[in-house]
Chains A and B, each alone.
Chain A
Amino acid sequence: MLVWSKRGRAGAWLVFGILAGVVYGLPAAVILCASLARSWNGVLPSGLTLGHYAQAVSGSSGAALEASLITGVVASALAVLNGTAAALALRRMEGMPRRVLDAVFFLPSAMPSVSIGLGLLVAFSRPPILLNGTIAIVFAAHFVLISAFTFGAITAGLARLSPDYEQVAASLGARPIYRLRRVTLPLVLPYLIAAFSLSFALSMGELGATVMVYPPGWVTMPVQIFGLSDRGDVFHAAALTILLAASTLAALASVSLVPARSAAR
């Protein structure tokens, strides 16, 4: 704490609270109210209902929640796998090749999601690889979009790992695979978890690329919400938004419950 006096600290908290309330709280509160409103014509909504939620977990909206969760898990898992492999491979490299490859892996984070969606559409709409109209192209879009962040998080974790652990393991007779499994990966597990969480949260909220590539039958939550609000079905969209946020948070919370013992450093 930089502020020491009791009163000063209380003041700081008050200012922080008001700012946080306006920036985060107000929109969330409005959405929450809308999701529960039967109609909203005046300043405040009128009539409470859980009907929108019932609608949200059934039919096409229920399918959207499922599609989003599956896409998030699959794309994040692939990104973590790929990011770990890439970060491990690049770790021992130095100089120019390392900088070039680093840049390549970070490139997607600098690309607008719409460009990535368009790029995938153009690339995979004709043979030899035809992905357009399949679920795979959604996974691919999400994977491309989040892989840079995953790679960054894992690289940062590996950079903080002292080479001593692996060298001692090697001197004790551990072969590379055994070392990776018993020493390196357990020691960077906290970073893998963080990378997965970040990827999953990004994937759950992804709209720009998805909206360009999604096939019929694989409508993700953001696409569904976008469509609903486009058609003026704001209350239903609000309920879905709340559900999206809640399920993302729940998924992240369960990931963070992975035994912290191995994370101890």
Chain B
Amino acid sequence: MNSAAARGIEAGSVDSQLADLAAASLAKEAGAQGAGGIGFEGVTVAYKGSIVLADFTLAVRPGEVLALIGPSGSGKTTALRAVAGFVRPVAGRVSVGGRDVTDLPPHARGIGMVVQNYALFPHMRVAENVAFGLRARHAPETEVRAQVESCLAMVGMAAFGRRYPRELSGGQQQRVAIARALAIRPDVLLLDEPLSALDAQIRHAMIEELARLHRSLPALTVLYVTHDQSEALTLADRIGILRDGRLRALGPSRELYRRPPNRFAAEFLGGANLLPVVIETPDAGNGFSEVRFGTTRLRALRPEGAAAGETRLLCIRPHNLTFVPGDPAANTVLARVHEVRWKGELHDLTLEAEGRTLRLASVPLRAPPEPGAVVSAYFAPDEATLLADEGDG
């Protein structure tokens, strides 16, 4: 993440020309300097003295979809506003496509932005809305018309150019807002909770649509803000998790989901089960550690620098727990059934073990157990991670 420091190390080990080359490629890797990426370097934003984005450093690579997720009020919108130039950081730099834009006014940044409620201009028809950015740049009329047509076609709204925004449904307004942002051919598209105003059904279709859109514009860098983890997991190459204005976790979506780096990431992304355990054998072979949960011995992926006797949090995803009706086998937790929820084909269960709640999601069961029954829940050791027990995360 800290490419400057990495560059420094590199420069010390090779001669200067090579160092420059290495620095350039590192920078490209980091994305901050590559064409069309977005770079935050130590960005701090304060409203009336209270800091809402603290020392935020993040590099969105060119062509990447990076989702920024976090609870409401965690500073996601503020991060987008800093890129767009609607808010001025009190410290740090923002770059777009390798160009430092911190001191540029919004209109000089050339960024596509879709705000939460779309903000389509109500006094303009759909086509005029989409043409707005090009007209503001005094593009030739023939180009404007061609670009409006192709952008509306791209979002499937070609037939709606003469409508007014108020004559469109929420999903259609959303598409127009995206077309309007794309019409200026930005390298970077900022989306602020673009699906939050839509109902669940349309939201599903729109996720697909956005994925398709990005496949047709692979060079477009997308910074996607959402509080909905499933949107992030479906769409994003990488996910960053914000909390209280700080970046708490960052990584490739799958990686972050499978091996969350901390408690907050584990709970916010995917709602993990977290059990307090004590490390018995740090290296139990095959890359596993053996831990004790109450009196039960369990195996999980071996964390870095684990020592015997340390307490950790055992993190297991609800759908990685399966239900073993028979005798307790290896890596099972004995638990009492608290609640069984039937969801058609599958069941969601809540169990209780050693005073802790365990959630199981999407378990196929022929004969679900009664509440109060004692069962054993199994998980594969390579699907369980051990997190530092850092209090509230």
Which of A162, A169, A187 is B136 in contact with, Cβ under 8 Å?
A169
Partner of B111, one of A162, A171, A174: A171
Q: How far is the CA of A262 from the CA of B122 in the complex (A)?
A: 8
Is A169's CB under 8 angstroms from B115's CB?
no
Instruction: State which residues 124-138 of B face A: CB under 8 Å.
Output: 132-133, 136-137
Chain B residues whose CB sits within 8 angstroms of the CB of A162 once the complex forms: 117, 119
Residue pairs across A and B with Cβ atoms less than 8 A apart, 11 shown, are: A164-B115, A164-B119, A169-B121, A170-B86, A171-B106, A171-B109, A173-B108, A174-B107, A182-B136, A187-B121, A263-B123
Contacts of B180 in A (CB 8 A): 168, 172
- Judge whether A46 is part of the interface by a CB distance below 8 angstroms: no
Does A124 have its Cβ within 8 Å of any Cβ on chain B?
no
Is B105 engaged at the interface, CB distance under 8 Å to the other chain? yes
Report whether A168 and B136 are in contact in the complex, using a CB–CB cutoff of 8 Å: no
Instruction: Indicate if A92 sits at the interface (CB-CB under 8 A).
Output: no
Given contacts A178-B136, A264-B166, contact A171 B119 (CB under 8 A): no
A203 to B268: give the CA distance in the assembly, Å. 62
Contact digits for B88-111, partner A, Cβ 8 Å, 1 yes 0 no: 000000000000000001111111
Interface pair B136/A265, CB less than 8 Å apart: no
Complex: A82 Cα to B123 Cα, angstroms: 24
- Which residue of A is nearest B114, CB measured? A168
Q: Does B113 contact A (CB under 8 A)?
A: yes
Residue of A nearest to B133 (CB): A172
The reply on B112 being an interface residue by CB < 8 A is: yes
B70 to chain A, nearest CB (A): 21
A126 at the interface (CB under 8 A from B): no
Q: Are B107 and A171 in contact (CB under 8 A)?
A: yes
B184 in the interface, Cβ–Cβ < 8 Å?
yes
Is A165's CB within 8 Å of the partner chain B? Answer: yes
Per-residue interface assignment for chain A, residues 173 to 193, with 1 indicating a CB less than 8 Å from any chain B CB and 0 otherwise: 111101100110011000000
Across chains A and B, the number of contacting residue pairs, with CB separation under 8 Å, is 73
Instruction: Give 1 or 0 for each of B167-196: 1 = CB within 8 Å of chain A CB.
Output: 000000000000011001000000000000
A231 within 8 A of B: no
Assess whether A173 is in contact with B105, with CB atoms less than 8 Å apart: no
Chain B residue at minimal CB-CB distance from A164: B119
B107 near A187 with CB under 8 A, answer: no
Q: Does A167 contact B (CB under 8 A)?
A: yes
B115 touches A265 (CB 8 A): no
The reply to whether A264 and B113 form a contact with Cβ atoms under 8 Å apart is: no
Q: Across the interface, which residues of B come within 8 angstroms of A174, CB to CB?
A: 107, 132-133, 136
* Cross-chain contact B132 with A169 (CB below 8 angstroms): yes
Query: Is B333 an interface residue when CB atoms closer than 8 A count as contact?
Result: no
User: Digit string of B289-322 for contact with A (CB within 8 Å is 1, else 0)?
Assistant: 0000000000000000000000000000000000
B378 at the interface (CB under 8 A from A): no
Q: Please, which residues of chain B bring their CB within 8 A of the CB of A173?
A: 107-108, 110, 133, 136-137, 184
Complex interface: chain A residues within 8 A of B121 (CB): 165, 169, 183, 187
**Residues of chain B whose beta carbon lies under 8 Å from any beta carbon of chain A:** 84-86, 105-113, 115, 117, 119, 121-123, 132-133, 136-137, 164, 166, 180-181, 184
B132 touches A182 (CB 8 A): yes
Q: Which of B107, B108, B119 contacts A165 (CB 8 A)?
A: B119
A164 to B119, CA, bound (A): 6
- B137, chain A: closest CB distance, angstroms: 5
Q: Does B123 lie within 8 Å of A187, measured CB to CB? A: yes
- Shortest distance in angstroms between A92's beta carbon and chain B's nearest beta carbon? 12
CA distance A125 to B122 in the complex (A): 50
B107 touches A170 (CB 8 A): yes
Determine whether A261 belongs to the interface, using a CB cutoff of 8 Å to chain B.
Answer: yes
- Which residue on chain A has the smallest CB distance to residue B136? A174
Minimum distance in angstroms from A181 CB to a CB of chain B: 10
Bound-state CA distance A109–B121 (Å) is 34
Which residues of A are found within 8 Å of B105, using beta-carbon distances? Answer: 170
Taking each of B115, B122, B136, B180, which has the highest tally of chain A beta carbons within 10 Å of its own beta carbon?
A: B136
CB nearest neighbor in A for B131: A172
Query: Chain A CB within 10 Å — which of B84, B109, B119, B137 has the most?
Result: B119
Chain B residues with CB under 8 A of A176: 107
Interface residues of A in 44-69 (CB under 8 A from B): none
* Contacting residues, chain A, for B109 (C-beta < 8 A): 171
A residues 238-265 near B (Cβ < 8 Å) are 261-265
Query: Judging by beta carbons under 8 Å apart, are A186 and B123 in contact?
Result: yes
Please indicate which of the listed interface residues A170, A187, A264 has the most CB atoms of chain B within 10 Å of its own CB. A170
Q: B135 to nearest A CB, angstroms?
A: 8
A175 to B115, Cβ gap below 8 A?
Answer: no
* Given the contacts A164-B115, A167-B115, A264-B164, A172 and B132 also touching, CB distance less than 8 Å: yes
User: Chain B residues with Cβ under 8 A from A179's Cβ?
Assistant: 107
Decide: B123 and A261 in contact? CB cutoff 8 A.
yes
Whether the Cβ atoms of B184 and A172 lie closer than 8 Å is: yes
Given contacts A173-B184, A264-B164, contact A168 B107 (CB under 8 A): no
Chain A residues closer than 8 Å to B123, beta-carbon distance? 186-187, 261-264
Knowing A162-B119, A173-B184, A261-B123, say if A168 contacts B164 (CB, 8 Å): no
Could you list 4 further interchain pairs (A-B, Cβ under 8 angstroms) beyond the known A171-B106, A187-B123?
A167-B106, A167-B113, A174-B132, A175-B107
Q: How far is the CB of B245 from chain A (nearest CB, A)?
A: 21
List, in ascending order, chain A residues with CB within 8 A of B85's CB: 170-171
Residues of B close to A175: CB separation below 8 A? 107, 136
Shortest distance between the CB of A187 and any CB in chain B (Å)? 6
Closest chain B residue, CB of each to CB of A162: B119
Q: Check A171 against B137 for contact (C-beta < 8 Å).
A: no
**Alpha-carbon distance A183/B180, docked complex (angstroms):** 15
